[in-house]
Chain A
């Protein structure tokens, strides 16, 4: 209805949409304008393109294949700690990448538990660096995501169908053919594409575990072109290629209909008890160990040094906290007008713009912003503002995903009543919409804060001691082999990220009636 269009919020929403287009396409344009033809790319750069696609493909494939038995075990077993395990499967999303990498090194690294066990058993130790390390870290992050997506699909199958199947005397191969395969065919392509897309822009993992001509992602090559060679045109070209790849993956993932992954209702189990119980037990134990052991290593090794870190590390931590808080608030400020405009204008396009940054890469945006401003302002002084802006833009899709359906629901449930009472404009926002959006907004802000807190991307471009963030400080401690301090810093980062998420999310839930 035309009257529901509230000019103020619609203009604000249009402004946010314009800002996002500028951040994604504008920065890309700025970068492209600097590029001087494909001749700038060497063989090593094409190797990076190849490696990017290869590792993203393998990461997605392994995550999705491993997720099948895990999701199946979770779907059909009910056991003590199942709820906790499902919660843990959601945690990697807000876990700082660099913390997980350090935890994985503690388990799978040269002197880690895994290799110690191999040597003890008389076997050759394996290296965590290179392709296998990148895959290990990506599976660590994305196996839980794939499992949740699959589990959701499994639990969406009506219980009646399982009852029908057992009344018809289905064997487990009949079950596979008539129920499970159609489900997998429906969910797997979407899950695969989402993970492929996430891994395409992978930076921190490649920075810490990859590198060298055989294990450099495009994102890492952009960073190197920019930071070490100061070769803007090469960075620009790589950025263009990366955007093209992401756009292609994004279009493909829309085409294969992506599952949502955020739905509730993972609490029940499928009323069915086929298969070997011991096998499911082994699978779930292995996954739990794989996910928890690296974090336990961080906690146990970091507990001793968390209070004895260098002064500069605490300064970096404090800087990261306020950057994260600012970024979370900015995310909310961008999300609400955009979601309102999308709802009022009934335009999928407006909401679609909010998801653009998924296909963009933060380093591309950072590079573009640098190219735009370096003639007029000192980019080092602008590092933190740029960081806040880029982090907010990167978090926006997730916040939007939480807020948009809630907003539509508010209009559906209370829109007529509000209209009948003449509740319009800012009064509607203040009295109806914001109070009822508190939960999704708190959740979205929590995600944004945690993502920003743990981000090791744009800041690496502008890094200097004055504006170092905690993830960067941690990375430098790791590089300097100051591992005791690194574990302390990692524990600090872990605690701060989870606390920020918890505080924002909690703030959205407190004192909410009905």
Chain B
């Protein structure tokens, strides 16, 4: 279970308050207007922004003091999730060992992860030789190898067209189910939230509300969210 206990973080003149629980295995969307603080929330959990107060913990183990790479989570950014000068195998291998000194068994794991995302045999290629959808799959293969319980998605697959994005979200759902991942996805697309998540966190002017069922939130949005969604 992910716990944010009375967390407060400031970024410039902006302050974010968060107190919530996300049960293990849940898939939760983070919804809110631009500037409401949803990306700040993700940065806070991922370790790119230190909290000023409060505690962040996974299964009771606080991790707000750990560097980003040591936290019990993987993150997929909006874009540039791959290093363009490294091969696909190296990009995925970073999920196993950041120093890339892999043994034969680990090379096998990389190949298997690529196979699981439908990219068997792509090891030696460079990211530039792949389509946008394939690059996203590489990032997911790396998530598989990091074997961390929490997956953060920051407006993922934004560069992909609607159909391809739905396909990627389906792949995320499949992987999350199989690996038992807890997923937190920042999105501004209501249909993405409906497609992937059963719960949603509404962020409004720096206040993070507790998760509520996604469909209920989107069917009957509060005033602030209604204005954002244009309903």
A422 touching B68 in the complex, CB below 8 Å, given contacts A512-B85, A514-B84: yes
| Contacting residues, chain B, for A432 (C-beta < 8 A) | 83
**Interface flags, B83-102, vs A, CB<8A=1, else 0:** 11110001000110011100
Which residue from B48, B80, B99, B142 sits with its C-beta under 8 Å from A419? B48
Q: Is the interface of A mostly helix, strand, loop or mixed?
A: helix
- Contact: B77 with A416, CB < 8 Å? yes
A83 CB–B CB distance under 8 Å: no
Q: Does B201 contact A (CB under 8 A)?
A: no
Q: Is A417 touching B46 in the complex (CB atoms < 8 A)?
A: no
Query: Does B32 interact with chain A (Cβ within 8 Å)?
Result: no
Q: Which A residues are CB-close (under 8 A) to B95?
A: 421
B98 touches A419 (CB 8 A): no
**Contact of A427 with B100 in the complex, beta carbons under 8 Å:** yes
B127 at the interface (CB under 8 A from A): yes
Given contacts A514-B85, A514-B126, contact A421 B77 (CB under 8 A): no
Interface residues on A, range: 20 to 34
Inter-chain contacts of B81 with A (CB < 8 A): 417
Q: Is the CB of A422 within 8 A of B128?
A: no
Interface membership of A148, Cβ < 8 A: no
Q: A431-B99, A512-B85, A514-B127 are in contact. Are A420 and B69 (CB under 8 A)?
A: yes
B67 within 8 A of A: yes
The minimal Cβ–Cβ distance linking A431 to chain B, given in whole angstroms, is 6
Q: B75 in the interface, Cβ–Cβ < 8 Å?
A: yes
Q: Which residues of A contact B126 (CB under 8 A)?
A: 513-514
Report B-chain residues with C-beta under 8 Å of the C-beta of A1: 48
In the complex, are the beta carbons of A420 and B128 less than 8 A apart?
no
Whether B83 lies near A419 (C-beta < 8 A) is no
Whether A424 is near chain B, meaning CB under 8 Å from some CB there, is yes
Give the complex CA separation of A435 and B90 in angstroms.
13
Instruction: Chain B residues near A424: list those with CB within 8 A.
Output: 67, 69, 98
* CB of A353 within 8 Å of the partner chain: no
Question: Would you give the 0/1 interface string for B116-156, flagging 1 where the beta carbon is closer than 8 Å to chain A?
Answer: 00000000001110000000000000100010000000000
Complex: A423 Cα to B94 Cα, angstroms: 8
Closest to B129 in A: A513
Q: Residue B67 contacts which of A413, A419, A514 (CB distance < 8 angstroms)?
A: A419
- Judge if B189 is at the interface, Cβ distance under 8 Å: no
**A436 lies within 8 A of B77 (CB):** no
Q: Does B47 contact A (CB under 8 A)?
A: yes
Contact code string A422-466 (vs B, CB < 8 Å = 1, else 0):
111011001110011000000000000000000000000000000
Check B70 for interface membership: any CB of A closer than 8 A.
yes
* Cα–Cα, bound, A454→B77 (Å): 48
A514: min CB distance to chain B, Å: 4
A63-B74 Cα distance, complex, nearest whole Å? 57
Complex: how many Å from CA A455 to CA B48? Answer: 47
A458 to chain B, nearest CB (A): 38
The reply on A322 being an interface residue by CB < 8 A is no
Residue of B nearest to A438 (CB): B85
A414 located at the interface, meaning its Cβ lies under 8 Å from any Cβ of chain B in the complex:
yes
In the complex, A42 has a CB within 8 A of chain B = no
Evaluate contact between A420 and B75: CB separation under 8 angstroms. Answer: yes
Q: B69, A422: Cβ atoms under 8 Å?
A: yes
Q: Which residue of the partner chain A has the closest CB to B86?
A: A431
Tell me whether A421 and B85 are in contact (CB under 8 A). Answer: no
Bound together, the chains give a CA A414 to CA B84 distance in angstroms of 10
The docked-state distance in angstroms from the alpha carbon of A512 to that of B83 is 12
Contact between chains at B98 and A513 (CB < 8 Å): no
Q: Does A348 contact B (CB under 8 A)?
A: no
B127 (CB) vs chain A CBs: closest residue: A514
State the Cβ distance, B65 to closest chain A Cβ, in Å.
10
The CA-CA distance from A424 to B66 in the complex, in Å, is 13
Contacts of B146 in A (CB 8 A): 421
- Residue among A3, A421, A513 making CB contact with B94, cutoff 8 Å: A421
**Assembled-state Cα–Cα distance A427/B84 (Å):** 17
**Given the contacts A414-B80, A514-B127, A514-B128, A422 and B70 also touching, CB distance less than 8 Å:** yes
Task: Give the interface of A toward B (CB within 8 A).
Answer: 1, 3, 413-414, 416-417, 419-424, 426-427, 430-432, 435-436, 512-514
Interface pairs (23), CB distance under 8 Å: A3-B67, A416-B48, A417-B81, A419-B47, A419-B48, A419-B68, A419-B69, A420-B74, A421-B69, A421-B94, A421-B146, A422-B69, A422-B70, A423-B69, A423-B94, A424-B69, A427-B100, A431-B83, A431-B90, A435-B85, A436-B85, A514-B85, A514-B128
Q: Which 6 A-B pairs have the closest CB atoms?
A: A422-B69, A514-B84, A427-B99, A419-B68, A422-B98, A423-B98
Known: A1-B48, A430-B99, A435-B85. 13 other contacts (CB 8 A): A3-B67, A3-B68, A416-B77, A420-B46, A420-B47, A420-B69, A421-B69, A421-B146, A422-B98, A431-B86, A431-B100, A513-B126, A514-B128
Binding site for A on B (CB under 8 A): 46-48, 67-70, 74-75, 77, 80-81, 83-86, 90, 94-95, 98-100, 126-128, 142, 146
